[in-house]
Amino acid sequence: MKIAIGSDHGGFALKEVILSLLQELGHEINDVGCYSLNSVDYPDFADMVAEQVVKGDAEKGILICGTGIGMSMAANKHHGIRAALCNGHYTASMSREHNDANILCMGERVIGPGVAEEIVRIWLNTSFEGGRHQRRIGLFS
Ligand code: RB5
């Protein structure tokens, strides 16, 4: 699967962990940065990943910052983006089954790398249920 991934400095270390996992799983990755622990502005990276998903250049996106909150807020400003902040397997699976989330957001300062890897595996392997959930996401303005 083609996946766009981005982080700010607060999510940089976890992005490196997730990049290794995605490579191991054989995904095609576009890492939009950041590329160091230098302080940057998270909306810039949320915008780059969201634009790739909206255009279809990436099927899904992953965004990581300190809490995951700023990234999810910024990504959800883009029409057609359903960014979900996940902190465990329940939110990871529900965000796909019920919300058809197309961007996964996580907070490096909130969850550990093991939980984050589990979230990514579940999120990428869980399908949207459609039906009434399709109607509901169709009501988004
Ligand atoms: C950066 O210090 C921090 O504010 C950012 O990573 C994120 O948590 C914002 O929501």
**Domains in the chain, start-ordered, CATH in brackets?**
2-138 (3.40.1400.10)
80 — alpha (psi -120 to 50), left (phi > 0) or beta?
Answer: left
- Report field, pTM of the whole predicted structure over 0.95: yes
- pLDDT bucket at 94, cuts 50 / 70 / 90: very high
Burial readout 3-40 (b: 16 or more C-beta within 10 A, e: otherwise): bbbbbbbbbbebbebbbeebeeeebebebbebeeeeeb
Contacts of 135 (CB under 8 A, 6+ apart): none
- pLDDT bucket at 141, cuts 50 / 70 / 90: confident
- Shortest-distance Cα residue to atom 3 of ligand 1: 66
CB neighbourhood size of 129 (10 A)? 14
- Is residue 130 predicted with pLDDT exceeding 90? yes
Q: How far is the CA of 67 from the centre of ligand 1 (A)?
A: 6
Instruction: Quote the pLDDT of residue 34.
Output: 98
Active site (annotated) includes residue 98: yes
- Is residue 76 predicted with pLDDT exceeding 90? yes
Active site (annotated) includes residue 65: yes
Q: How far is the CA of 44 from the centre of ligand 1 (A)?
A: 13
Instruction: Quote the pLDDT of residue 56.
Output: 98
Which tens digit of pLDDT belongs to each residue from 14-44?
Answer: 999 999 999 999 999 999 999 999 999 999 9
Distance CA 98, CA 66 (A): 26
Closest CA to 70 of 91, 85, 51: 85
Helix 89-97 × helix 113-125 angle, to 10°: 20
Name the residue of 42, 64, 85 to mutate for ligand 1: max ligand atoms within 8 A of Cβ.
42
